[in-house]
Every structure is written in C-alpha cells, then in structure tokens.
Amino acid sequence: MFGNWEFFLFVLSVFDVTKGKSHYGAGGGYNHFAGRDASRAFVSGNFTGDGLTDSLKGLSSTEVHSVVGWRDFYFKSYKYVGRLVGRYYDSRGNPTKYLKGVESKAARGAQLMEKQKDMEAKQPSCNSRWSQDDGGEVWCDDAFPRLVQRPFEIALTGKMSKRCACFNEDQLGQPGLEVYNGCDYLAKRCRV
C-alpha cells in the first residue's frame, strides 16, 4: 500500500491523482480512498472500516457494473501507473479468477440494465413534482398513473422497487398495477 495521497487504487489499477490533491489530500472529501483500493465503498456508501476494501463479494451485478464504470472514469481522468498484485492480478501481472468473475458479473449487470431500460421505454413514466410546501404529485397527460414493480430490480440490486408509469384505460386490468393510496381509480393526477 502506498503511504501518501498521490496514489489511488481502484479495482486492480493504480492511478496518480496528484492533479486532484484538493480531493485526495489531507482534509479532502476523498482522502479515505487514497493509498488503498476501496472499490466497494463506491457503491456501498460505507467509507469506514470494512467498507474500505477491494472485495466486491456479495454485490449485485449492476453494483459491480457501477464499480467498473467508476474505474473507467479514473482511466479517463487520471494517469494510470500500474497494477496492484493481489486479489485482481498475480505477480506476473495476469488477471486472476476473481478479476475474470468481476468482469463477467459487470457485463451481466450491463445487460440487465439495458433490458430494464428497454422494458421501461415501452411504458412511459409519469410526470412528477415535489415541493416542500405542496408535497408530491404524479400525473399522466393522456393516461392513468400506476405504481408498477420493476421486473429486473431484484436481479439488478437485490431489492424490489416500483416506479410510476402511465397506462391507458384498457391496460388498467393488468396484474401488478397499484393505484396510489388516496387516489381515485380513473384519476390522471395523484397526490403522493
């Protein structure tokens, strides 16, 4: 491990971040990343102790894809200076099984994200707005707002979530559509 802030290790790669010293130096917002590979923290949000690790074990495929996306950002933004021997590269600089698994999982995450994007493009999203004074509102100009589960969300993040989509009246009988609490069945606007 490097002892100063000038080097940043990120999923198998070492970068010279001298040009970002205000971020990576003492007192900088990203100082906890300097001199170590803390790739997991980029998606976990855990910037202390166990979170500052290069292990991606247990992350979903889209979370791993996100980490690889961050690595690509560093390749574009900072000077690449080498590989770190350990989890991702052996002493000869060859990729390990772990790296191959990470790359495979990231590719699967990219595929799942693309499938969800294509599926959601077929059903338009609701319009929405929120203000502290008025709260939230969702609406559809020529259809009816409904909460619908995101079909790939469990595979993407390990959790299930819903989104607001606009459905025509003849589609309202589909299973899995949820009327917003307190909203009339045929309302085009709902308070949330």
Model confidence pLDDT, tens digit, residues 131-166 = 999 899 999 999 999 998 876 655 556 667 788 999
Model confidence pLDDT, tens digit, residues 4-49 = 445 655 556 888 888 888 888 888 888 888 888 888 888 888 888 8
* 93: DSSP letter: S
> What local confidence, expressed as pLDDT, does residue 65 receive?
87
Boundaries of every domain in the chain: 7-113, 123-191
> What local confidence, expressed as pLDDT, does residue 12 receive?
65
> What local confidence, expressed as pLDDT, does residue 128 receive?
95
The CATH homologous superfamily to which domain 7-113 belongs is Cytochrome b5-like heme/steroid binding domain (3.10.120.10)
* Residue whose tokens read 């917002």: 29
pTM attached to this predicted model? 0.62
Model confidence pLDDT, tens digit, residues 73-128 = 888 999 988 888 888 888 888 889 998 898 899 998 888 888 878 877 788 999 99
Residue 54 and residue 39 in contact, taking contact as beta carbons nearer than 8 Å: yes
Q: Is the pLDDT of residue 3 over 60?
A: no
Contacts of the segment 88-91: beta carbons below 8 A, 24+ positions apart: 88/11, 88/12, 88/54, 89/12
- Which band of pLDDT confidence, cut at 50, 70 and 90, is reported for residue 189? very high
